[in-house]
A and B are shown apart, each in its own frame.
Chain A
Amino acid sequence: MAVCVYRTSRVVVQGITGKEGRYHALACREYGTKIVAGVTPGKGGMDVEGIPVYNTMEEAVHNAHANVSLIFVPPPFAADAILEAVGSGIKTIVCITEGIPVLDMVKVKRVIEKEGVTLIGPNCPGIITPGAAKIGIMPGHIFKRGSVGIISRSGTLLYETADQITKAGLGQSTCVGIGGDPIVGTDYIYWLERFEADPETEAVMMVGEIGGNAEEKAAEFIQREIKKPVFAFIAGKTAPPGRRMGHAGAIIMGKSGTAEYKYEVLKSAGVNIIENPGYMGETIYNTLKSKYNI
């Protein structure tokens, strides 16, 4: 089964004629994803290696029956691109763009909540169901289909985690990078709920980082609703307070938001804590064997 994206997903790439959009649209297609259309205003009628390009999302959805959008539009126009996708009836949107103004996202969030749209990102690597569909910029070959679902705020750290899990002899059902910005479309809870309901997923790995309170909120939810084993690592334990570590979200203010505090609440919610990021794959493998008989 897996979660959110499947072999049947039909993807339209917004910003497909740009350097990044083109490169990744083709890389996704090579992986096996159905890339059915591209959209760049003013470039309608062209094609990118056989992928038809339209001027508007409405045309792309109407003509190519796209049901997922992947966005590579530059920051000043990205919020509009997301809203255009929503307006065309798309219900699953992956936005890779980094650097969208926060107040633009405030408005976008308001609309997607009302329309019931799933927005992955922005400022994220995308989502992958190994062997079925890769909708994003991750290197496909490090993933292997299996039983662990991964939710990560960071991109390359998602790769690191997936790679360790693959090398430990396990695999992944679906891996999603929810994005490093202060306002993103989905939180841990959204994905935990879906992984819990997915028969293929046997355990969930949460890759968090300092700042914000998304992990704290997830802990509360896990305690109440999640029966499957959950693992967590929080990046940034050694980061000095008051300094923003790259991601706009990763800044410690006061006690909440620190790695220690996040570990504390996650632990009391029954989550298996992995404090050393060098041992993520191994710990998940061993714990699943010894503690859960999986």
Chain B
Amino acid sequence: MKLHEYQAKEVLASYGIPVPEGRVAHFPYDAWMVSMELGLPVVIKAQVLTGGRGKAGGVKLAKTSDEARDIAQELFGKKLVTKQTGPQGVKVRKVLVEKVADIDRELYFSIVIDRTTSRPTVIASKRGGMSIEEVAEQYPEDIIKIPIDPAVGFLPYQIRRLKYDLDLVEQGKEAQKIFSALYKAFMDKDCSLLELNPLVVVKNGHLIALDAKMTIDDNALYRKKEISKMRDLTESNPDELEARFAGLNFIKLEGNIGCMVNGAGLAMTTMDVIKLAGGEPANFLDVGGEATPDTISKGFEIITRDPKVKAIFINIFGGIVRCDKVANGIIQALKTVKVKIPVVIRLTGMNKEEGMEILKKAPMKFYIAEDLREAAKMVSELSKKQAATTTKKAEEKTEEKKEK
């Protein structure tokens, strides 16, 4: 779960980490007020759960309160388009209004879980303010990496080293205190990422976390109630949210073949094999270990909501879940959700024969495939055929209208 910048800064401030003075504004007038209270100039930062916000025009400087109001007004109407959001972009609903810092130097600091060493790792650089990927490419020698042994924590000698490498001798104790507090916040809050880019040295010599990104491990949210409450659902795709509440893992894609699969790896493979057969997957959907009639119905419902979808591919490899149960689930689901497009089913694994028998006796029509490649070929062809008939029907309709 990603936190907004202002939420991350609230958390950091509670650990004694200095952040700029600022407040969230939900309306242009709020921004005007806050800028008056803080003193000018102020910086207005769009609060969206995506990276690359600055480049997309989501961060702006205001010299007067009227300007602050106008910038906020403009941002509220805007959809920020970044690499991560895709072309549809994300709507700005809140902005953070902050006092402008008098920057002397920009640094980079983050803590991540390094999958190679399985340890929390501090990454820091004297080159803050630019993306760390760029720094890694252009100035690899300027990147400091410090793996932390979870048994003993972030050790004084490691923190001292960081102080020297980042030229923070003058900041001495202050820097050490901040680094140690950052690690504590990372561990306490079950973070998977904590990033300050930049962490700045201001003209009077003090350190301030000018930007903050915090991602919390979803698996740990059960023990982080206060953080869970900060979740902002307004930016999520409504279908994806509905799926999540039903225990499904759903991601919308651009194609026209709806997929329903058990297991994440097999679900990705199913998308791949459809594409290789010339089709285009409309979604990623992992129904999980328990493919019950309820979850299957929900799956059909969400998939068929998209009028672009021309065929459905159900690929279930029974392991924990048995094929006969899945077959019954599919039939029951199709009794409640009316599906008018072709459905291709590939069912194998535990109790395959029983499952197939049930499908054959079913009152509705399916296309049954023996294996992955047959199924992929079948569903790709059916989706094209279906798409052609729909266009034809639409054409006929318009012609009828014309005649009338």
The answer to whether A and B come from one shared complex is yes
Chain A positions within 8 Å of B, measured between CB atoms, are 20, 75-76, 99-107, 109-110, 125, 137-139, 141-142, 152-160, 163-164, 180, 182-183, 207, 209-210, 212-214, 217, 233, 235-243, 245-250, 254, 275-279
How far is B219's CA from A103's CA once the two chains are assembled, in angstroms?
10
In the complex the two chains form, is A154's CB within 8 Å of B222's CB?
no
- Smallest distance from the beta carbon of B191 to chain A beta carbons, Å? 8
What B residues does A155 contact at CB under 8 A? 263, 265, 319
- Chain B residues whose C-beta falls within 8 Å of the C-beta of A236 in the assembled complex: 268, 271-272
B349 pairs with A245, CB closer than 8 A: no
B190 in the interface (beta carbon within 8 A): yes
Question: By CB atoms of chain B within 10 A, which of A101, A163, A183 has the most?
Answer: A101
- 8 more contacts with CB within 8 A, not counting A75-B219, A103-B187, are A101-B219, A142-B349, A157-B266, A163-B349, A182-B115, A183-B115, A209-B265, A236-B272
Range of interface residues on chain B?
Answer: 35 or more
Q: Are A242 and B266 in contact (CB under 8 A)?
A: no
Across the interface, B113 reaches (CB within 8 A) one of A99, A183, A240, A279, namely A183
- A110:B150 contact, CB within 8 angstroms: yes
Chain B, residue nearest A208 (CB): B265
- Judged by a CB distance under 8 angstroms, whether B65 is at the interface is no
- A277: chain B residues at CB < 8 Å are 269, 272-273, 372
Contact yes or no, A103 B217, CB < 8 A: yes
Residues B275 and A238 in contact, CB atoms below 8 Å apart: yes
- Within 8 Å by CB of A246, from B217, B264, B273, lies B264
Which residues of chain A are near B338, meaning CB under 8 Å?
none
Contact of B84 among A100, A154, A242 (CB under 8 A): A242
Q: Mark B269-311, 1 if CB is under 8 A from A, else 0.
A: 1011101100001001010000000000000000000000000
Instruction: Assess whether B118 is in contact with A109, with CB atoms less than 8 Å apart.
Output: yes
Contacts of B273 in A (CB 8 A): 276-278
Chain B 170-186 residues near chain A, CB threshold 8 A: none
**With A102-B219, A139-B350, A242-B84 given, is the CB distance from A278 to B276 under 8 Å?**
yes
Q: Which of A109, A158, A238 is close to B271, meaning CB atoms less than 8 Å apart?
A: A238
With A107-B150, A159-B349 as given contacts, are A245 and B262 in contact (CB-CB < 8 Å)? no
B133 at the interface (CB under 8 A from A): yes
Across chains A and B, the number of contacting residue pairs, with CB separation under 8 Å, is 163
Task: Closest A residue to B51 by CB, please name it.
Answer: A242
A76–B222 contact, CB under 8 A? yes
Contacts of A247 in B (CB 8 A): 264-265
Contact check: which of B223, B372, B373 meets A76 at CB < 8 Å?
A: B223
Q: A137-B320, A246-B267, A254-B133 are in contact. Are A100 and B219 (CB under 8 A)?
A: yes
Complex CA–CA separation, A243 to B219 (angstroms): 17
Known: A238-B272, A278-B276. A99 touches B264 (CB 8 A): no
Distance, CA A182 to CA B112, complexed state (A):
12
Interchain CA distance A48-B212 in the complex, whole Å: 52
- B334-378 near A? 1/0 per residue, CB < 8 Å: 000000000000001110000000000000000000011100100
Q: Is the CB of B272 within 8 A of A235?
A: yes
Kindly list chain A residues whose C-beta atoms are within 8 Å of the C-beta of B350. Answer: 139, 141
B345 CB to nearest A CB, Å: 15
Report the separation of the CA atoms of residues A255 and B86 in the bound assembly, to the nearest whole angstrom.
18
Q: Is B13 an interface residue (CB 8 A)?
A: no
